[in-house]
Amino acid sequence: MTLLELFNRLRDRLRRDALARELDEELRFHRALLKRDATLGPSDDNDAIDHAARRLGNATYYREETRAMWSLGTLDEFLNDLRFVLRTIRATPAFSIVVTLTLALGIGTTTAMYSIVNSILLRPLPYRAPESLVQLRDVQKDGRETPASYPEYLDWRQRSSDVLSDVAVSYGSGEVLETPEGAEQLQGSHISANMLDMIGLRPLLGRGFRIDDEARSAPRVVMLSEPLWRNRLGADPAIVGRTITLTGFPYVVIGVFAQTPNTLVPSAYQWSHRRLPDFFAPLRLDEKNAPRGLHWLDVVGRLRPGVDLARARTRLAAMAVSIQHDRGATHGVRANALADALVGNYRAPLGLMLIAVAMLLVIACANVASLLLARAATRRREFAMRTALGAGRQRLVRLVLVESVFRAVIGGALGVALAYALVAGMRAWLGASVARMADVSIDARVLVIAVAISVICGLAFGIIPAARAGRSDIVRDLRDGGRGVMGGMSRDRSRRTLIVAEVALSFVLLATAGLLTRSVVKLLAVPKGFDVSNLVAGYTWLPSPRYADSLSQKAFFDRLLAELGGSFGDSHVTLASDLPIAGGTDGGIGVEGRAHAGGMGMKDMGDDVLNVEKRIVGNNYFGVLGARLATGRLFSSSDVLGAPPVVIVNETFARLVFPKESAVGKRVSFNWGIDGYQTIVGVVADLREGPLNRPSLPAIYMSAEQRPNSSMRFLVRSSVPAAAIASTFRAMLRKIDPTIPLVETETMDDVVRADTRQQRLSMVMLGAFACMALLLAAVGLYGVISYSVAQRTQELGIRAALGALPGDLMRLVLRQAMMFAVTGVALGIVGALATGRLIASQLFGVGPSDPLTLSVAAMLLGVVAVIASVVPTRKAAKADPLEALRAE
Amino acid sequence: MPPKRDLLPGTLDMLILKTLTAGPLHGYGVALHIKEWSRDVLQVDEGSLYPALQRIRQKGWITAEWKQTPNNQRARYYTITAAGRKQLGIEEAGFAELFTAIRRVMRSV
């Protein structure tokens, strides 16, 4: 066929109806002339008329023949098939909707979940040559990893050059930019000069840092982010070289950088909080302001080419020994793959979700397969009929193929839409709190694989009836009417296997979700030692030049407290350097009469002191929070600046430090003894310090009256909405000093939510997957039981004829349903015990084989199984003997 | 009335094309022309003619156009195209070859 002919054919196909009308007109004309000429003819008139009339008879035949010429062969046949499929789908809408939605659910959730895992865990970090980057951590004597101290960093950098080509460091910090609209809190990082090269960041304008920028004597320099430069500094083209004031100090702007993902410095804290920096400033540290005992630096190193992590670790361990020897220190060092350090904590929960979603996909495919198998049996008669009427086997196979592909395409399209919706939802929900979640995008490869799986699944099981149709005994199939007893056995078995597997997997998901739910419930029930409700905290800090001394700091916060007391009542407002649960500053203390206790001057600032949480709190802090006093006394109005310094400790502290004696009256020292000794006057029941899923930390509380601090949170106990309180805070700060920023406002409920976010996320996701699985299993069970009832109509009818009561028939069907459920649950328990061990680390306060959870899950599945089989069971009860006999 | 002869397969297209070299004709005209010039030996009924016309048209050898007949009736007139003339040449040559071959066989014994 030439191209022209094809084109003409296509054009004719499109105006087929017009062509048919024209042909008819042409034929009418032709016949009219034939008739006229025949009557005009000389002798054998009648013959000619007869001849013409005879020839009219075959008009239909050649009309058909011409019509074929205006069609497009295969394409027209395909359209016909599609029309047929649409008719089939319209005839059985419930079946088609269930299959399509099941496919969509499987495809959508799998694609979304894998895309999230891929974007968070698998995609390379956004740094230059990220695979050779390692995180370097200080290792304490008890094996705990902490950030590094500045002297450690210097040692590591100097002594590791055989395995690390470079070592860089950063710490997050805030600065205040004063603008005409008020003080604005900026977040950024102080970095070593080589960090920019380490992460592969080039300035948009100006230059990066040089090593001499790090000197304490050098002028202060800063790099600003592009958004800050544009929005706050009017995109001044001459910004480089200009001096701006940050937190009261003059800084020379040396460059502007674009806020790309790699501006998030390699620090686990920065990654989980995910606020892109507004500025970079060089490190300006020395051993005086950053002693060996102060651990707060994030250190990152680059492996030399050919050096792997294991070799680097061996070498660094040796280096740590020599450092300990030279410096008299006890701390070690450990290198971790940077990806592990930054997103490693998401591996376990995301892995669990990926396994769960894979189970869901298997359940979805099993469901589709079992539905198609059930349908294949009922369609046997239809296909036999078609074969009998002359449909070729090829044509039947094609029909089934078109049907399967059509469903898969619709299901796939819905699945893709679902995946996009899920990812968008997760981005909105967790974009700010989970590292890289904001950058999650749908992975096209996974989408293709998921669609392919469902198409193959649909095809594989859809093709069975068609393939059989070509082979099978038409006469028998027609006679059996699709109810055949013979030959159904093997398909019945595969259907049973599928449904049992579905129930088992649903049980595993249900049990896992149950375990996670119980964990969250236990976690939220952890005693916090104070009343969490209606507690709102604002946070601010006083930039140093103007609030350099304790008196000015105290004056500011006294004024703030007075203002707050005026609005909320004096007994409802207080101060704290950090919030409970959220965690905050920790540091070493010394105890009078013990090693390191006395005379610890700067030169002795070792790292062998007891590490405890340190809090500076208002004198009425414990009263406002509602904490319980265990022994001794709380702070009183006489604990003021100038009075003997006193502290309060929590029960964990008392138990750890003074296991055999009373803590009250003992004296402890901070800051390596610089400030002398403070007397413990009271022990309070633990206010939960640190994450809820770990044992409470030892904590020591100092009075804000005696030790004013530049950075404080102010707490208000009030039922007024948090947003309204936040604006009150802002107004009060502006009134007292317009250059002081309100850094953030959070409620204690927010803190608890943030602390349990990961557990709740796992719970919600697994819960959702388990619900979907349960739903699918219910649909699967329903399908199989209804099919089985339909198959057994005759048998049930005969039983009814022989005297079986409706109750007997129902029991018969229900027993079958229960058998599937019980077998599935039994297998599911085995699976759940195995998965339980896998997720043990993510559980809290509940064992991986918790009998309560397992039995509740089993009961739930049993109930769902009963519900799913109620409708078909009732149908069975109505089995009519007459019907059964008629069918024969 | 002389007995009707079946056409050799494939010759109908050639006859139609040849007929149309004389000028545009409607379907009936084509049939009449073939009938008369074959002295009633070749009778093309509409069952073969119209499918053939559609086929040839799709191949681009003729074009069709609705026109008025001299008697003021509407009829579809077919006109041979340049491609049709070329095809006619090919078919005539092929037919001549076939005809010669048949004649040789018929004279051989």
Each residue of A511-561: pLDDT tens digit?
999 999 999 999 999 999 999 999 999 999 887 677 888 889 999 999 999
Q: Which of A700 and A73 is assigned the larger pLDDT?
A: A700
**Quick one: A838 exposed, middle or buried, by C-beta within 10 A (0-12, 13-18, 19+)?**
middle
CB-based contact A850:A518 (threshold 8 Å): yes
- Residues A789 and A796 sit within 8 Å (Cβ to Cβ): yes
Please state, rounded to an integer, the average pLDDT across all residues of chain A.
Answer: 84
Spatial separation of the C-alpha atoms in residues A687 and A698, rounded to whole Å:
10
Q: Is the pLDDT of residue A472 over 90?
A: no
Alpha helices in chain B (DSSP H): 11-20, 27-37, 46-59, 82-107
Residue B43: CB partners within 8 Å, gap ≥ 6? B4, B31, B34, B35
By mean pLDDT, which of A11-15, A222-226, A740-744, A882-886 is the weakest?
A: A882-886
Residues of B with CB under 8 A from a CB of A: 1, 26-28, 31-32, 45-48, 50-51, 54-55, 57-60, 66, 73-76
Cβ pair B47:A69 closer than 8 A: no
Q: Considering chain A, what percentage of its residues have pLDDT values greater than 70?
A: 89
The chain A residue lying nearest B56, using CA atoms, is: A5
Report the pLDDT averaged over residues A861-885.
81
Torsional class of A291: left (φ above 0), alpha (ψ -120 to 50), beta (otherwise): beta
Q: Do A69 and B55 touch (CB under 8 A)?
A: yes
Chain B hits for A59, CB-CB cut-off 8 Å, are: 46-47
Residue range A713-772, pLDDT digits in tens: 999 999 999 999 999 998 999 889 888 888 889 999 999 988 898 889 889 999 999 999
Give the residue, A338 or A292, on which the prediction is more confident. A338
Question: Does residue A197 have a pLDDT over 60?
Answer: yes
Q: Look at residue A83 and tell me whether its pLDDT is greater than 80.
A: yes
Closest among A575, A558, A561, A670 to A617, alpha carbons compared: A575
CB-nearest to A27 from B46, B58, B73 is B46
- Non-local CB neighbours of A271 within 8 Å, separated by 6+ positions: A264, A342, A343, A435, A436
A706 CB-side CA count, 13 A: 23
The more confident residue out of A488 and A814 is A814
Tens digit of pLDDT for each residue in A125-162?
A: 999 999 999 999 999 877 878 889 899 999 999 999 99
Q: Smallest Cβ distance to A62: which of B26, B51, B66?
A: B51
Q: Which residue has the tokens 């895992």?
A: A117
> B102 vs chain A: nearest CA distance in angstroms?
30
Q: Which chain B residues contact residue A55 at CB under 8 A?
A: 45-47
Q: Which of A647-656, A812-821, A847-856 has the lowest mean pLDDT?
A: A812-821
- Range of A82-96, A674-688, B5-19 with top mean pLDDT: A674-688
| A80's tokens | 């016909």
Q: What is the model's pLDDT at position A487?
A: 42
Q: Is-contact A856 A831, C-beta < 8 A?
A: no
* The pLDDT value given to residue A686: 92
Its ipTM equals: 0.85
More confident residue, B4 or A779: A779
**Amino acid letter, residue A46:** N
Of the candidates A12, A26, A70, which has its C-beta nearest B50's C-beta? A26
Cα-to-chain-centroid distance, residue A457: 27
**Pairing verdict, β A646-650 and A677-684:** parallel
Tokens 């402890």, residue located: A668
Q: Angle, nearest 10°, between helix axes A444-471 and A393-430?
A: 160
Indicate yes or no: CB of B51 within 8 angstroms of CB of A65. yes
**Residue of A279, A65, A84 whose CA lies nearest to A191:** A279
pLDDT value for A853: 93
Nearest CA in chain B to A11: B58
Where does the pLDDT of residue A650 fall: very low under 50, low under 70, confident under 90, or very high at 90 and above?
very high
Q: How many Å apart are CA A523 and CA A837, to the nearest integer?
A: 19
Search chain A and give the residue with CA nearest B64: A22
Q: What is the pLDDT of residue B52?
A: 87
